[in-house]
Structure 1
Amino acid sequence: MKKYTIKDIAELAGVSKGTVDRVIHNRGKVSQKALDKVTKLLEEIDYQPNPIARSLKNNKIYKIYVVLPNPDEDSFWKPCVDGVNQAIEEFKSFLVDIKLFYYSPHSTKSFQNVNNTVINLSPDAVLFPPIFYKESISIANRYKSAGIIVSIFNNQINLKEAVNFVGQDLYQSGRVAARLMEMIVPKKTDIVICHLDEPFNNATHMQKKEKGFRDYFENLGHFEYNLLTFNADKESLHKSLNDFLNIQKNVSGIFVTTSKVFNVVEVLQERKHKNLKIIGYDLLNKNVSLLKSNAISFLIHQRSKSQTYLGLTYLVEHFLFNKDIPNQKLLPIDIVNSENLDSYIEN
């Protein structure tokens, strides 16, 4: 199909290029006769205006800011930065300004302060992971009141103010982890659900994973496993985990609900607890090394790079090309073990 320029259309309709431009973009005065001629011709040739050229005519720079936990404090977020940088590179020729802002993943105060800074800069949209439940709801309300579009990723919470969520179904990922655990541990043993480094009551991502994990076993109809919950921070993990396992001597597997699974394995390898089956999240370098040696049985890959890249792409295309933003984009729940690891590392 031939692509018609405004010059082509003007010549075919016998009018000026300015008249065609005014008809296409619905601006300025045009005589009824000229309007009818151009409109009829556009219908005949099925003309589709170039969305890129149209967006550039607005001459507006759209500001889209990403608020992330500092990857230097938690390496899970490094691929998220890569996703942001990929979007920046892809859309660098367009009128969009994408910026990154970091806060401490261990401090709600830092999260609040950084978001206060972002609000004062008046972006058109903001993308962030709501890892702190109460604080995320509060800040999302403030963004919406300021006319700023909110998009979230990684942790799906009930945010009426958010236009979009990108990430996994965390409840379902907990169920997947439970199914895997059932396959590799003996019946009539204890399975530990391990939460690390975050206040459980304010971390809905861990709550959803635990609920999915527990519901799977409870729905079996023949409950042949005893599920235990263990909470710790990094500083106390060594002593508290060993004390816990010294009391709970029937443990056969541990499900770690975050990417900190390597911390758990490192403690286990120092002691006699080396034969436990371990399932956790994410392809961090330390996790990958332990997966290769089979110290970790399975990792659930959350595609953190894709989460930020897709979240930003939806926002950019909404502003530039007037595309609708999907309410949610659920990513696959990838199960990775030592046998299929290389295909994920290569990609």
Structure 2
Amino acid sequence: MDKKYTIKDIAKLAGVSKGTVDRVLHNRGKVSPTALDKINEVLKVIDYQPNLIARNLKNNKVYHICVLLPDPEFDPYWLPCINGIDDAKKEFKAYNVNIETHFFNPESKKSFVNTNQTVIAQAPDAVLLAPLFHKETLEVMKQYEELNIIVNTFNNQVESDVIKSFVGQDLHKSGRVAASLMSLIVSEGQIAIIHIDESVKNAVHMQEKEKGFRNYFEEKNNPNFTINTLKLKFSNIEAKLEAFLIENTNLKGIFITTSKAYQIASLLPEEKCKKIALIGYDLIHKNITHLNKGSIHFLIHQNQKRQVYLGVATLVEHFLYGKEIPQTIVLPIDIINAENASFYIS
């Protein structure tokens, strides 16, 4: 078994006092450069791992972290995030950390703003949020900054000096990946980019996916393709999609920028499903069903569970261990089809 080194052991190896080693390990008090070099060399050689649990128990402060999560009751895409939060709670349960989840309606800007106000009233040490609404996010950031509350974001990236870290995929590149897949299936014809249920002007994630998708085809400069954008609301999806299909008889592919590809797949006539390639996002149950039936060709997995776990974990490790919070954590872009979907479903 690996030897567990004590402060006494390290002091003896470095030829310094136990008090000097203690000051270095706990970053308190002055230490001469010579002594510091000797101690660091020993720590490097023995690969010293401090007893972080014991250290944390000496700190009476309880760190309060709030997670602002879209309510999975409205959109099942967010359901795995609850498991990610639970994983973080279990991992850090021995520490003085309180991780609290607040839900908001992902279809309501008012709900998003009100939930943020509830969190601000609690004045937590840090917040992890999914910034679904761009304008409202920028406004609430000012309040977090005034209270010196650290903010991490996940899933959607928002440019703001207040935001400490972003965890998620490169959305522009995920759009390019979708375009690359589409070009393998479709050799020519019309392609539709479909946004469902969200205001594109206020949803950066959909904008970036569309930009990436279009950018790929623009670089190819292939005149055999035309790309149109269609925005649908839940109340008019069926009628508007039917009218679009009638007007665009040369439609060969559809790229859905949200987790609601199943809504389009379920509305396409059977003969259209065989002729139109569908690419969407996320491993929710209804999408998987259509993937296995062949009415959806590919899904891009955004691994939302991992996103929220990493968002929480980086905050906890910052408070407990003094680790620097990474500015960006970019997750892989996983391509899912009917053959490998089972490997991603727990």
Q: Decide: shared fold, TM above 0.5.
A: yes
Q: C-alpha separation between the residues in 1 aligned to 2:37 and 2:192?
A: 70
Partner of 2:223: 223
Partner of 2:86: 85
Q: Are the counterparts in 2 of residues 129 and 154 from structure 1 also a CA contact under 8 Å? A: yes
Partner of 1:343: 343
Asked if 1:257 is matched to 2:257, the reply is: yes
Partner of 1:146: 147
Letter in 2 for 1:78: L
Q: Which runs of 4+ in 1 moved over 6 A?
A: 9-13, 15-20, 38-41
1:13-28 counterparts in 2 under 5 A? 25=26
Q: C-alpha separation between the residues in 2 aligned to 1:307 and 1:339?
A: 24
Q: C-alpha separation between the residues in 2 aligned to 1:123 and 1:137?
A: 19
Measure how far apart 1:319 and its partner are. Answer: 0.6
3-state DSSP class of the match of 1:310?
A: helix
3-state DSSP class of the match of 2:220?
A: coil
Asked if 1:328 is matched to 2:309, the reply is: no
Letter in 2 for 1:55: N
Using the size of structure 2 for normalisation, the TM-score is: 0.90
Q: CA RMSD in A?
A: 2.7
Q: Which has the larger radius of gyration?
A: 1
Measure how far apart 1:129 and its partner are. Answer: 1.1
After superposition, the Cα gap between the structure-2 partners of 1:63 and 1:250, relative to the gap in structure 1 and judged at 3 Å, is same
Measure how far apart 1:248 and its partner are. Answer: 1.1
Q: C-alpha separation between the residues in 2 aligned to 1:176 and 1:40?
A: 48
After superposition, the Cα gap between the structure-2 partners of 1:327 and 1:12, relative to the gap in structure 1 and judged at 3 Å, is closer
Measure how far apart 1:10 and its partner are. Answer: 8.5
1:71-220 counterparts in 2 under 5 A? 71-187=72-188, 189-220=189-220
Q: C-alpha separation between the residues in 2 aligned to 1:24 and 1:120?
A: 36
Q: C-alpha separation between the residues in 2 aligned to 1:41 and 1:178?
A: 55
Deviations 1:108-159 (A, max 9, x none): 1110001001011011100011110000111122111110000001011212
Q: Are the counterparts in 1 of residues 10 and 42 from structure 2 also a CA contact under 8 Å? A: no
3-state DSSP class of the match of 1:58?
A: coil
Q: C-alpha separation between the residues in 2 aligned to 1:237 and 1:202?
A: 20
Using the size of structure 1 for normalisation, the TM-score is: 0.90
Q: Are the counterparts in 2 of residues 64 and 123 from structure 1 also a CA contact under 8 Å? A: yes
Measure how far apart 1:318 and its partner are. Answer: 0.6
3-state DSSP class of the match of 2:272?
A: coil
Q: C-alpha separation between the residues in 1 aligned to 2:161 and 2:197?
A: 28
Measure how far apart 1:71 and its partner are. Answer: 0.5
Measure how far apart 1:186 and its partner are. Answer: 3.2
Letter in 1 for 2:94: S
Q: C-alpha separation between the residues in 2 aligned to 1:134 and 1:220?
A: 34
Q: C-alpha separation between the residues in 2 aligned to 1:194 and 1:44?
A: 58
Identity value in percent: 49
Partner of 1:274: 273
1:46-85 counterparts in 2 under 5 A? 46=43, 48=48, 49-85=50-86
3-state DSSP class of the match of 1:255?
A: strand
Task: Give 5+ residue unaligned stretches, structure 1.
Answer: none
